[in-house]
Amino acid sequence: MEKVHVKKGDTVYVISGKDKGKKGKIIKVLRKKKKAIVEGVNMATKHQRPTPGVNQGGIIQIEMPIYTSKLMVVCNKCNKPTRIGHKVLEDGSKVRVCKKCQQVIDR
């Protein structure tokens, strides 16, 4: 498995590409491909046929994966895109930390 700096549920900021400047929440992380699916980012049109599961056919918008190198995690406290640091707490647990305000990012 490849290491990525983002997790499911993180709010991220897009730093490059056609969606530069957008914020969104991570729906899914594809670790082997080093990509993530972010809601409202990298939208593509898909032609959907009506099937037994989907009654309505037509053209729909879906989110496509985006490389994680184009994403920065948004800090909960300072509400700014930031790099991620790692810290070991007194009880021995490892947490992710905002590099700007030193606030713990992990839930």
Residues 23 and 48 in one domain: yes
Residues 48 and 17 in one domain: yes
- pTM as predicted: 0.85
Q: What's residue 47's pLDDT?
A: 94
The residue segments making up the domain with residue 26 are 1-74
Residues 12 and 52 in one domain: yes
pLDDT means over runs of 10, the chain (107 residues): 87 95 96 95 93 86 95 92 92 91 83
Q: What's residue 107's pLDDT?
A: 59
Sheet arrangement for strand 23-30? 66-67, 35-38, 23-30, 11-14, 71-74, 81-82
Residues 56 and 91 in one domain: no
Residues 68 and 85 in one domain: no
Q: Is 69 helix (H, G, I), strand (E, B) or coil?
A: helix
Tally of domains in the chain: 2
